[in-house]
Structure 1
Amino acid sequence: MSFKGGARGDEERGRGGGVSVVPLVNVIPMETIEKYHYFFPRLLFFGLGWGDLVCALRSMKTSAQHDWDDWHHQFTKLARSYEAAGVEAEARGKRATARAWLTKASVCYHFAEFAYFDNPAEKIRTQGEVARVFELARPHLTWSVEAMRIPHGAQELPAYLHRAGDGRRPCVILVSGPGFAKEVEMHTFAQAFVERGVSALVFDGPGQGVLAGTVPMALDFERVVGDVLGALHRHEAIDRDRIGIFGVTYGGYMAARAAAFHPREIKACVCVSGTHDVDNFPSMHVNVRKDFMYVFGMSNEDEMCRVAQSRMNLRDVPGITAPLLAVHGKEDRIFPYDSCLRLMSWAKGEKELIGYDGEGQAAINCFTDALPRLSDWMAEKLA
């Protein structure tokens, strides 16, 4: 975790009396930046610093293709360093430091595995590390985060209720897309809602978080949300008449779908890079296709394509009547802007679209603008 060997460029005297600068050791090689730069905004927005990227990526092996084995190794190594430091800080009674380093460790474990499909068993093990270390950090968080288990058929879904304060509060259900973690990206989203007086429920449904790779994602995800709603209705800290839903990427599609099937219970919906359909599955990036196959438990890409194009759409779903806010990058190559426009045409109630020129998936470079806007919007709808 520490920088060594003149990270800032040690100076030494040259023979002629001038000052020469020792070359920087702690830098990310340009070929590594060129290969992985697409992911940097996401990593930086959701909990890592530039120094973390340098520590993890400065020793990456050089290769013509992405080396996700080495990526996983480097970020796991950084995660273990932060975890050990956090545990030591906790033992010394340094709660703020323990919180900072343990949450950072959880983030590092997540980004070690989020795009790692070459070793499914190791990916699943690392997903578990994300949750395990977050549990170490949870007692030190600055707001109340209550662990829950939500009954869903024969299963129990792990969840956290981020509480915005005392008394009955409005609540937003957060639905993650493939490759997201309730302890990382969804934790950041939850914080934005809590700061505005709205509690937030994050959870791992089938195919999400710690259940990804072991329990296939549900095509009829509205049934999962139905059980989540039931748990919130039974909770003494939730105003059951003021519940909204939020989803990101494919989670945006699932959130809109759930809101359409639960029109009386869900009062507002936000979709970030959501979609009306997944008809473009064959043209998606190979890692995105792998992610869908992983969370749906399919080993045959042709079968995944058939399911994506025939069943993962809103064509036969009644249009959502709750207020809808969509946030979308106009250059999104995973769920193109046209698919968002189809989502907006499908919606039957009040609707608003924030489109960002030049932005790709999730409009991540504009999140400092989008996140306050969408969380304010949700707080107003649930007021």
Structure 2
Amino acid sequence: MDELVRSAIAHWGPRFTTNGVTAADFARITAGIERWDDWCRVWSAEGAAHESLGREALAEGRSRSAGEHLARAAVHHHFAKFVFVADPEQMRAAHARAVSCLTDALPHLDPPGRRLEIAFEGSHLVAVVRVPRGEGPHPVVLMLPGLDSAKEELGSTEQTFLDRGMATVTLDGPGQGEAEYALPLRGDWAPVAEVAWEAIGTQPDLDRDRLAVWGVSLGGYYAPRVAAALGDRVSACVSLAGPFNFGEHWSSLPQLTRDTLRVRSGSVDDEEARRRALELDLSEAAAHLVAPLLIVFGRQDRLIPWEDAVRMRDAVAGPVTLLLLEDGNHGCANVAPQHRPTTADWLAARLLGAPEPRIASYTTGATTDPTADLTTDLTAATKAG
């Protein structure tokens, strides 16, 4: 097994199994991949197998099963291409299958979804809109993926919000998903925030006066940028594993991550990519973030140091709560039950008036870290605005 395959398995295993790939499938599929050159092909073949089950279910009128199979196929195709930037042709083919599978799954999900295309700077952005059962308009969570994630990956997170009565709008922004080929990754998301705000306002079943923004990984940087740009138009914001300044960690990032940012930022080489990464900086925007902010971070994050969460907490203008999970990895995918329900309840409290969750730390084992008081009881890590 070559180093890139080992790196992908080590960094992203829990993320795959939390977002739609079974643990048994992940172990079986990755055990058969020895060279990175084979990654996309093998995962695409698995995606095709699930897609075949979905198409067969559709033909037989088993629509619910069809939606489940096709959504799972989309996840497999997505993970075939997610950082496979060394072979753009193969990557784009896998991506096309992911988009097609999710698009065909949407009417058959519970609740169903629909595509929303948003004109932006001579091109367009694509979002998936899902609305909970019951009479609307519904409060809405704008969901933002990261550097290598996309809307096809976030279905399981959407469900936690939908189950609590909140609609979701999951957006591929510049440099992400369907927009990654025409629109490069960018640090300034104020223009994206405005077009998303306008687009949500065109949907009669969405209540943009009750709007939250959620983002994971680099999306955990974008979400505060959107909330800062929209000011008091945003009711709440969640940053999951978001960097304070992405470029400051350039030298410690995995090679696959650096290569992905280079391609999706349109950079010609590693040094230009590093400079672009330094533009992903919250230093100035944080002072304009007035909405209540929940920061979720893992102390064992190997991509972004947990100290970035503390920097974000201390820099923003509004009220902020930090949930720092002692055993959490990047994105806290390995401890999802310890934060996903709490995050959804925290947003429901702000958008729906639901009961307020007590934000407490989840610690296994003692720590000798001199800043351990940050995780002792995170109600004490809440800063009032």
- 1:251 correspondence with 2:224: no
- For 2:288 and 2:118, how far apart are their aligned partners in 1? 28
2:15 paired residue number: 42
Q: Which runs of 5+ in 2 are unaligned?
A: 353-385
How many angstroms apart in 1 are the aligned matches of 2:252 and 2:31? 32
Amino acid at match of 1:325: L
Residues 1:35 and 1:307: Cα distance change in structure 2 (over 3 Å): closer
Within-5 A mapping of 1:177-326: 177-184=146-153, 186-278=154-246, 279-309=248-278, 311-317=279-285, 318-326=287-295
Residue 53 (str. 1) matches residue 26 (str. 2): yes
CA distance in 2, matches of 1:151, 1:34: 37
Q: List aligned pairs for 1:363-378, cutoff 5 A.
A: 363-378=332-347
- Give the SS at the match of 2:232: coil
User: Aligned partner of 1:36: which letter?
Assistant: I
Residue identity in the other structure for 2:127: A
Q: Deviations over 1:250-284 (max 9, x none)?
A: 11111101111211211110000012212121221
1:128: Cα distance to partner? 1.5
For residues 95-122 of structure 1, the C-alpha deviation after alignment (integer angstroms, 9 at most, x for no partner) is 2322222112111101111131220222
Change (3 A) 1:231 1:81: same
* Residue 95 (structure 1) aligned with residue 68 (structure 2): no
Q: CA offset at residue 321 of structure 1?
A: 1.0
Going from structure 1 to structure 2, the CA distance change for 1:34 and 1:124 (only over 3 Å counts) comes to closer
CA shift for structure 1 position 34 = 9.1
| Cα offset, 1:374, TM superposition | 0.5
Q: Give deviations 1:105-146, integer Å, cap 9, x for gaps.
A: 111101111131220222122112111111221221111312
Flag the structure with larger Rg.
1
1: CA distance, partners of 2:208 / 2:104: 31
CA separation in 2, counterparts of 1:285 and 1:236?
43
For residues 382 and 188 of structure 1, the distance between their equivalents in structure 2, rounded to whole angstroms, comes to: 20
C-alpha distance after superposition, 1:163-218 (max 9, x if no partner): 0233211101011101112022x222211111110101012121111222442122
Find the aligned partners of 2:83 and 2:275 in 1 and give their Cα distance.
Answer: 23
Whole-angstrom distance in 2 between the partners of 1:254 and 1:319:
14
Aligned residues: 346
Any stretches of 5+ residues in structure 1 without a counterpart? 1-27, 62-66
> What code does the residue aligned with 2:146 have?
G
2:308 aligned with 1:339, yes or no? yes
Letter in 2 for 1:368: P
Q: Is the Cα–Cα contact under 8 Å of residues 201 and 208 in structure 2 kept in the other structure? A: yes
The offset of 1:312, in angstroms, is 1.8
Cα separation, 2, equivalents of 1:141 and 1:366: 26
Opposite residue 262 of structure 1, the aligned amino acid is L
- Classify 1:89/1:235 alpha carbon distance in 2 versus 1 (closer, same or farther; 3 Å): closer
2-structure distance, mates of 1:130, 1:164: 24
Q: For the residues of structure 2 that align with 1:281 and 1:164, how far apart are their CA atoms? A: 40
- 2 CA distance for matches of 1:253 and 1:146? 26
- Structure with the bigger percentage of helix: 2
Aligned match for 1:83, one of 30, 43, 51: 51
Tell me if the contact between 1:284 and 1:334 (Cα under 8 Å) persists in the aligned partners.
yes
Asked whether the 8 Å contact 2:123–2:182 carries over to 1, the reply is no
8 Å Cα contact 1:171/1:242 also seen in 2: yes
SS at match of 1:110: helix
Q: Distance in 2 between matches of 1:277 and 1:322?
A: 20
Task: Report the AA paired with residue 79 of structure 2.
Answer: F
Find the aligned partners of 2:40 and 2:93 in 1 and give their Cα distance.
Answer: 12
Give the secondary structure class of the aligned counterpart of 1:69.
Answer: helix
| Contact 1:146–1:163 (Cα < 8 Å) also in 2 | no
Instruction: State the TM-score, normalizing by the size of structure 1.
Output: 0.86
In the other structure, the counterpart of 1:18 is none
Report Cα offsets for 1:205-242 as digits up to 9, x if no partner: 21111222442122211211210011112221122211
Taking the aligned partners of 2:27 and 2:312, their CA distance within structure 1 comes to: 39
The answer for the alignment partner of 2:92 in structure 1 is 124
CA distance in 2, matches of 1:375, 1:209: 24
Q: What TM-score does the superposition give when structure 2 sets the normalisation length?
A: 0.85
Q: 1:298 to 1:35 in 2, by over 3 A?
A: closer
Q: 1:68 touches 1:115 (CA, 8 Å); kept in 2?
A: no
- 1:35 Cα deviation (Å)? 7.3
